[in-house]
Amino acid sequence: MDKLKVGVLGLRRGLAHLRNLLLLDNVEVIGVCDRLPMLRERVAPMLADRSTKIVTEYEELLELKPDAVVVSTNGKLQAKHSIQALEAGCAVLSEVPGAYTLEEVVKLRAAVEHNRGFYMFAENACFWDFMRYWRKWVMEGRLGAVSLAEAEYDHYLPNTLDAIDGTRLTPSQAVGRKDVAPIWRADQPPIQYLTHDLGPLLEMMDDRCVSVTCLSSPWWNPETPLRSDGQVALFETAKGSLIRVLVTLGTAVPSDHRFRLMGTQGSLELFLYEGFTRVHGPAFSEFSGWSKAPLGITPPGHDPSTGHGGSDLLMIRSFVNAVLEGKPSPIDVYRIADYTVPGIMAAESARLGGTPVSIPNLHRGPYEGTRFWDVVGLPEEDPSFEAWEPGKLGKQ
């Protein structure tokens, strides 16, 4: 086929995917779906000159016979909706977390296998530009053995109530109202929303997690009464490394992602709000402290306005091209298990007061390695490096 016929389910987060799909010459968006009139009305102007149908029910969307469905519904329905699409013969790109329980992940795997379907997990953070360089340096051995890694997701989300018209409110804004209900993330353990951070680390390290211990902070924020203010998990990987992940959705901190890889010969770190990478080690520069590399989330020549620094468009394009060209999924149903199940098991560890919990291997056999870099590719040359830490730098 020359063009992929795509349907979009869910027009809140799905709006960004719709905009990017409309930019691609090898895509025809044949339908979009949402039950909320406000969200359907929002996309109507951009589809006015197209034959795209705007429908209310998922069954109506599937009746249009799309080749692929982008599942952008709430996290407690994503596995169910993905399975429906697979059973209808559609390729699937599913938003995160992709599944809410271990049972859902197992059912999703079964649906992919039974229907011989194409499934891709929409983890856009894996398409951030700095990751390609970090992966290159890991493969070249410039960090030595990577024994420790860290990631942090800070995202204050106090608007945990949905009004009947689709607007979102904080509990204090909704006092006295009877037309509101908790959103799907209102009672989600924060650590279960870790794929934006764990996924990139696993791809850069080419690894998977085998056990976890996790603790919860208190429930002190009155705007998020159904979940902990934050959680911290410590994972052991199959290769023997340790990964620490912190996720907070209920503390008043500016939104940010933070990543660190710490090796026996060098280390890397990035705070997303700064927009650059710090590097350390003799394989990078002559300085004894941190050096700075101009590596953030947006590749040169790409438009950051296409979502999350341009990663949304890169992800959608990778999905479309893989389906049209008959290539493997860069983040398939087995890899989503590596991204999502650790968060589910971490939440269970926290419920048990930090008791270590094993993480099942849902691959059909031993983990054989990442396919992600076959799609994304690695850079050939290094960026420039310059001194970063005033007062503590000097030649070795």
pLDDT digits (tens, 9 = 90+) for 308-349: 999 999 999 999 999 999 999 999 999 999 999 999 999 999
**Is 323 a domain residue?**
no
Residues 89 and 27 in one domain: yes
* Nearest Cα to Cα of residue 309 among 343, 273, 345, 282: 273
**Is 222 a domain residue?**
yes
Given a cut of 70, whether residue 390 has pLDDT beyond it is no
- Residues whose CB falls within 8 Å of the CB of residue 158, separated by 6 or more in sequence, listed in order: 170, 171, 221, 223, 224, 250
| Count of Cβ atoms closer than 10 Å to residue 106 Cβ | 16
13: three-class secondary structure by DSSP: coil
Q: What is the percent of the chain where pLDDT is above 70?
A: 98
Rounded to whole angstroms, the Cα distance separating 71 from 98 reads 9
pLDDT digits (tens, 9 = 90+) for 158-197: 999 999 999 999 999 999 999 999 999 999 999 999 999 9
250 in Cβ contact with 238 (< 8 Å): no
Residues 262 and 283 in one domain: yes
pLDDT of 392: 52
* Nearest Cα to Cα of residue 232 among 248, 250, 214, 257: 214
Residues 281 and 348 in one domain: yes
176 in Cβ contact with 167 (< 8 Å): no
Tell me the pLDDT of the chain averaged across its residues. 95
End position of a domain, from candidates 97, 117, 137: 117
Residues 49 and 136 in one domain: no
Given a cut of 50, whether residue 28 has pLDDT beyond it is yes
* Nearest Cα to Cα of residue 24 among 87, 90, 70, 71: 70
Specify the higher pLDDT residue, 395 or 319.
319
Rounded to whole angstroms, the Cα distance separating 84 from 80 reads 6
**Is 322 a domain residue?**
no
* Nearest Cα to Cα of residue 128 among 277, 240, 341: 277
In degrees and rounded to multiples of 5, residue 103 shows phi and psi of -60, -40
- Residues whose CB falls within 8 Å of the CB of residue 280, separated by 6 or more in sequence, listed in order: 266, 267, 268, 289, 290, 291
**Is 196 a domain residue?**
yes
Residue with tokens 């809410």: 100
pTM of this prediction exceeds 0.85: yes
**Is 153 a domain residue?**
yes
- End-to-end distance of the chain based on CA atoms, in angstroms? 58
pLDDT of 60: 98
Residues 172 and 282 in one domain: yes
Residues 64 and 209 in one domain: no
Rounded to whole angstroms, the Cα distance separating 85 from 67 reads 10
Number of structural domains (the chain) is: 2
pLDDT digits (tens, 9 = 90+) for 79-128: 999 999 999 999 999 999 999 999 999 999 999 999 999 999 999 999 99
Q: Give the rounded distance of the alpha carbon of 110 from its chain centre.
A: 22
DSSP characters for 67-94? SEEEE-S-TTTHHHHHHHHHHTT-EEEE
**Is 326 a domain residue?**
no
End position of a domain, from candidates 81, 96, 117: 117
Which CATH number characterizes residue 61's domain? 3.40.50.720
Which CATH number characterizes residue 196's domain? 3.30.360.10
Region 144-171: mean pLDDT is 96
pLDDT of 387: 84
Rounded to whole angstroms, the Cα distance separating 261 from 242 reads 10
Q: How would residue 285 be classed by pLDDT, with cut points 50, 70 and 90? A: confident
Residues 271 and 359 in one domain: yes
pLDDT digits (tens, 9 = 90+) for 253-284: 999 999 999 999 999 999 999 999 999 999 99
Given a cut of 50, whether residue 394 has pLDDT beyond it is no
pLDDT digits (tens, 9 = 90+) for 363-378: 999 999 999 999 999 9
* Nearest Cα to Cα of residue 383 among 273, 261, 294: 294
Residues 8 and 97 in one domain: yes
Residues 80 and 48 in one domain: yes
Q: Give the rounded distance of the alpha carbon of 4 from its chain centre.
A: 23
End position of a domain, from candidates 86, 117, 148: 117
Given a cut of 50, whether residue 1 has pLDDT beyond it is yes
Residues 287 and 211 in one domain: yes
Residues 159 and 262 in one domain: yes
**Is 380 a domain residue?**
yes
Q: How would residue 395 be classed by pLDDT, with cut points 50, 70 and 90? A: very low
pLDDT of 393: 42
* Nearest Cα to Cα of residue 107 among 333, 323, 331, 328: 333
Which domain range does residue 228 map to? 128-301+333-387
**Is 343 a domain residue?**
yes
